[in-house]
Structure 1
Amino acid sequence: MTKDYFKRVSAKTPTRFWINNVTEEQARLAIEAGAINCTQNPTYPSKILGNPVLGEGPDNLLKKLMEEDADNESVLTKFQLHSVKKICDIFLPVFEKSKGKEGYVTIQSSPLDESFENIVTCAEMYKDVAPNIMIKIPATESGLEAIRYLCEQGYAVLATEVMSVAQAIDVCEIYEECLKKNSDVKTFAFAHIAGIFDEELSAQVEAQNIDVDRDALWQAGIIVAKKIRRMMDDRGYKAEMLSGGARGLHHFTEMVGARSGITINWQGTADKLLEANGVVIDRFSCAPAPDVIDELLEKIPDFKRAYLRDGLKAEEYEDFAPVRRFRNQFENGWNKALDYIADRRK
């Protein structure tokens, strides 16, 4: 039997398969399986440096960059760009065949400095590296400013770290305003991180001993995603929706049927779904039970903040617990790579 799960998902639903944080080999496998775009994140350098499976290529590149530059942060920024460029090259035929509608690869600047100035400076450095590079920017207060600016300048943009309805609406409104100024603006998407959201809520439930039905809790991130998609459709927003941060296979399968992309890791998620080759069922269109939503709203304050349109203000996005959890993972990965570089200089 042909293992064509992702291709069947694309053929039978409006849901599209993206791949996340891949090596070059995984990128090729993902494209063969039906991936249309790729999200790379700031943990990517730490994933490939010192990885025996990948050979000496990444470390040889790092050595060359270290010889040319004494600043470790600068070296890491350049190393990430060179490494992501290789993934861009692999996805370039997809980009060219689709005439620029697919085949994008994202890159995100240092999570240690998410100021408007640094995001824009890095984006300007990235833009000419590959025609299919997409700038990934956190949907925080300073990030929203950068998203607006780069969108108006014609960059392909992916807003990330979206954990709430408020963030999603804000980034969609920015894109609508950009379209009014220039109908030729490039691809614009945002990533709602349902998996990390669920991970954070589960941690809160355990730490605070919250008595909530586990079946209701299991649905939390997807429930927020469904509200976001519904509001987008009601308002006619043109931004592309993406779901990410999968912490279980259900973060893909429960999204099937959505007019959305879903980005997942190859190892442990995409490969398992491909091997299982399950049936394709539209689960996203099934409305969540009102009593489930009511319980989550009543018992978990951060679900309420994420679910309500006015649950968060822009100045609160950066310190919203699910956003902070996600950013901490990026910071840890970036710092791990910086430590690796520092050790190599000894």
Structure 2
Amino acid sequence: MVNEKIGFSLWLDFIERDHLKKEFRRMIEEGVINGATSNPAIFAASIETSPAYTAQLDGLKNHSAKAKYEALAIEDIRTAAEALLPLYEADRDGYVSIEVDPFLCDDTEGTVEEGKRLHAAIGMPNVMIKVPATEAGYAAMRRLTAEGIDVNATLIFSPMQALKCLDAMEEGLKIAGAGGKRVRTVLSVFVSRFDRLLDEKLIEKGLEPGRVGIMNAAKIYNLVESRKNPDIRTLFASTGVKGDAYEADYYIKELMAPHSVNTAPLATIEAFVQHPDHRPRLPLKEGTIDTFFEKIEAAGIDMNAVCDKLLADGLEAFKEAFAKLLAHLE
């Protein structure tokens, strides 16, 4: 649940047309969520499995697969944005994110062009354009924010990625501010994928599992907060739990922090609502974080290599999901 007293926002990491019509609005009205996010994998799952898209697809038979996808996604994002608009107008978040084509992750010009085009097509002020945190993405973030478009930097795994995003966003925000535009940005730091990759090895080494993603996110949170920019926040993403290793809302509670966002799957949010706990767990002291990662390094784990692998895997997973969706829409 949203906690405005500490500046904590909870966004739903799920978009599906039937859900948007009823349950989504109820969650907003009851103060459970105050924003939403999407990605290529989420849209692929919804469009491929839900009959709610059949009628619109019937009218798009002569369109390309990507044009069909965009028509469906734009309608859903606009619907979500309209439901969230009262929150946005009251300066209580109310954002929804849509990601650019994942195959543009190494194309700055293509990312900027598509980000501007999608933002204009949706036609709502409370839409964030998601841009992967790659070398091409940093330049695109700077240009989009400079033009007054809210940006969600995604697929962040390493502190170095976060620093590059921060630098790009601050430059863009400065330009936008000089033009009289206020832009809001978030850095989506992926969490649970670290633990799914490393837990088994940590247990073998006698170390506590389920902490690498949290400690890495805590380090990046400190970096973001050190800039003291009210228009840039950490967004904790990839916060769903696979299997029963941890409580379903583990990554919401363990990353409760002022001036932050947590975007989570529907089941994760439902679990949190049953037993909410808003005691801040962050910030952690840098010494505590450093000591933790010294133990990780001593266990033979190269965090730079881990971050590189998770980024490559994340980019590939989104490309695969998007390619599969386009094939489905052909």
What's the TM-score, normalizing by structure 2? 0.84
Query: Which of 311, 331, 337 matches 2:319?
Result: 331
Distance change >3 Å, CA 166–CA 65, structure 1 → 2? same
Question: Does structure 2 conserve the Cα–Cα contact (< 8 Å) formed by 1:39 and 1:106?
Answer: yes
Q: RMSD of the alignment, in Å?
A: 2.5
> Any gaps of 5 or more consecutive residues in structure 2?
242-248
| Change over 3 Å in CA distance of 1:232–1:109 after alignment to 2 | closer
40-49 or 168-177, which moves further after superposition? 40-49
Query: Where does structure 1 lack aligned partners over 5 or more consecutive residues?
Result: 1-5, 307-316
1:103 aligned onto 2:94: yes
1:144-187: per-residue Cα shift (whole Å, max 9, x none)?
A: 11111111111111100110111111111122222333423411
When residues 332 and 290 of structure 1 are mapped into structure 2, their CA distance, relative to the original with a 3 A threshold, is same
| CA positional deviation for 1:26 | 4.2
Change (3 A) 1:123 1:223: same
| C-alpha distance 26-301 of structure 1, shift in aligned 2 (>3 A) | farther
How far apart, in 2, do the equivalents of 1:10 and 1:331 lie? Answer: 36
Farther off after superposition, 177-186 or 82-91:
177-186
Q: 2:145 aligns with which of 124, 127, 151?
A: 151
Residue 187 (structure 1) aligned to one of 184, 196, 200: 184
Q: Aligned partner of 1:332: which letter?
A: E
Tell me if the contact between 1:155 and 1:185 (Cα under 8 Å) persists in the aligned partners.
no
Query: What is the deviation of 1:39?
Result: 0.9
Q: Percent identity?
A: 20
**2 CA distance for matches of 1:123 and 1:190?**
17
In 2, Cα distance between equivalents of 1:300 and 1:26: 46
The correspondence of residues 99-248 of structure 1 with structure 2, limited to 5 A, is: 102-114=93-105, 115-128=107-120, 129=122, 130-183=124-177, 184-202=181-199, 205=201, 211-215=204-208, 217-238=209-230, 239-248=232-241
Kept in 1, the 8 Å contact 2:81–2:127? The answer is yes
Distance (Å, rounded) in 1 between the aligned partners of 2:142 and 2:55: 37
Query: 2:97 aligns to what SS in structure 1?
Result: strand
Change (3 A) 1:48 1:231: closer
Query: Are the equivalent residues in 2 in contact too, given 1:212–1:295 (CA < 8 A)?
Result: no
Name the CA shift for 1:169/1:270 in 2 (closer, same or farther; >3 Å): same
Deviation per CA, 1:51-93: give whole Å up to 9, x if none: 35xxx431211222233x1x22232233222222222222122
Q: Equivalent residue of 1:66, what SS?
A: coil
Residue matched to 2:295: 295
Report the CA distance between 1:289 and its aligned residue: 6.6
Q: Which residue in 2 is equivalent to 1:14?
A: 7
The 1:226/1:41 distance shift into structure 2, 3 A limit, reads same
State the SS of the aligned residue for 2:102: coil
| Equivalent position of 1:89 in the other structure | 82
Distance 1:33 1:333, change over 3 A: farther
Larger relative contact order (Cα-Cα within 8 Å, sequence gap ≥ 6): 1
8 Å contact from structure 2 (residues 240, 264) kept in 1: no
Residue pair 1:36, 1:102 contacting (<8 A) in 2 also: yes
Normalising to structure 1: TM-score of the pair? Answer: 0.80
Instruction: Give the alignment partner of residue 47 of structure 1, picking from 45, 48, 53.
Output: 45
Cα 1:22–1:30 shift into 2, 3 Å: farther
